[in-house]
Amino acid sequence: MSKVPIKKILLEDGSERYPLSSRIFNRLQDVPVQMIGPEKLAQGSEKGHKLRMGKDILHLLAFQGEFLKPCPGTKEYICCGYQILNIATNCPLDCSYCILQSYFNHPNLRVFVNLEEQLKQALKITDAHPEEIFRIGTGEFTDSLALDHLVGWSELLLPEFTRRKNIMLELKTKTNNIKKLLDLDIRKRIVVSWTLNSPFITVNEEHRAASLEKRLKAARRCQEEGFVLGFHFDPLVFHSNWQESYLKTVDLLDKYIDPKGIIWISMGSMRFMPKLKEIIKNRHPRTNVLKGEFIRGLDGKMRYFKPLRIQLYTHLRKILEEWYPDLGLYLCMEADDVWQKSMGWSPLDSSGLKGYLDQRVKKKIG
């Protein structure tokens, strides 16, 4: 990953009082800071450059919503019961298929500087239910590590999570930005995960992300340092010679990673809200991810026809299980019949999938 240079910091009124803002300023002393109020913010949102998305602008603000909330799944498909910790929105990487291109109204790299203040309040939810396992991640609305060298999320979050026995924190990334993570002497109850794809999709669609080899070398380093690993093949995309291409990725996994240290591997296929199609075409006119036969799914998203999704999952499941039979494989946002036909079993519903993954936490983390 080549780190994107930050050209400007936008600071919302009142956000300067948070210690996290001061630490970010110290790391970016030569970057100009612009104070903005609600009117300027609204004006800037309307005029935000849709094609550039402000990936070189760091926007510091206090988030007024809930910091910890369930992953926005749908009742029409089996969901895993994941919890999202809202640390930021938008991402310095530029994957052509990224849903964040249409998910948020505001551009720029928006970092919530009141996280430190609100974290203990958010974790009162988990502390109130010590009998329940909470799988919590920060990689839903941003990359968990891409800005870690500037924001210092690792040093802020890991101490709070490692001492609680009923939670685990998953840091999901497409980078090799692991220095701050390794500098901390904290490993327990932390899962470091990488999103993977075929070499073709990685090179042509995952712009600014680290190469597959760099990701897996970083994963191996984390594994050697005592971290539990996870991997996510999402979105799987049809393209020329896709079977052989995904096999090459599994071969790289075999080269770098000890499979016994993997807690889970998820699989999901290309899906998107209809309005994202035009954004992808405008921002990435040479993309391959919109090729193929799509239909509107039960959740309103465009998806591959069901037989095609089953073909993707079955192929990847078989080559992964040939590599190692106990990887904690699961599908992301799929129906019971797709599970049965591609995986050979089904958790039946969201509660069943949550139970399956909670057991993986008990087995791999304790």
Every domain of the chain and the residues it spans: 66-364
pLDDT for residue 211: 98
Q: What is the mean pLDDT of residues 325-350?
A: 97
Q: Measured at the alpha carbon of residue 269, what is the angle toward residues 264 and 273, in degrees to the nearest 5?
A: 125
- Look at residues 136, 181, 142 and name the one whose alpha carbon lies nearest to residue 63: 142
- 3-class state of residue 109 by DSSP: strand
pLDDT for residue 296: 96
- Look at residues 148, 61, 56 and name the one whose alpha carbon lies nearest to residue 112: 61
Residue 45 has pLDDT above 50, yes or no: no
List pLDDT tens digits, range 352-364.
Answer: 999 999 999 999 9
Residue 267 has pLDDT above 50, yes or no: yes
Residue 304 has pLDDT above 90, yes or no: yes
How does residue 263 score in pLDDT terms, banded at 50, 70 and 90? very high
- Measure Cα distances from 70 to 78, 101, 171, 348 in Å: 14, 21, 16, 20
Window from 52-61, 237-246, 287-296 with minimum mean pLDDT: 52-61
d(CA 73, CA 36): 34
Residue 46 has pLDDT above 50, yes or no: no
pLDDT for residue 49: 46
Window from 98-107, 158-167, 305-314 with minimum mean pLDDT: 98-107
Domain 66-364 of CATH type 3.80.30.30 = yes
pLDDT for residue 50: 52
pLDDT for residue 104: 65
d(CA 129, CA 261): 28
CB 144 within 8 A of CB 137: yes
Residue 281 has pLDDT above 80, yes or no: yes
- 3-class state of residue 93 by DSSP: coil
Decide: pTM greater than 0.75: yes
How does residue 38 score in pLDDT terms, banded at 50, 70 and 90? low
- Look at residues 82, 228, 92 and name the one whose alpha carbon lies nearest to residue 148: 92
CB 333 within 8 A of CB 268: yes
Structure tokens given for 30: 């030569």
How does residue 44 score in pLDDT terms, banded at 50, 70 and 90? very low
Q: What is the mean pLDDT of residues 60-64?
A: 95
pLDDT for residue 42: 43
Q: What is the largest CA-CA distance in the chain?
A: 58
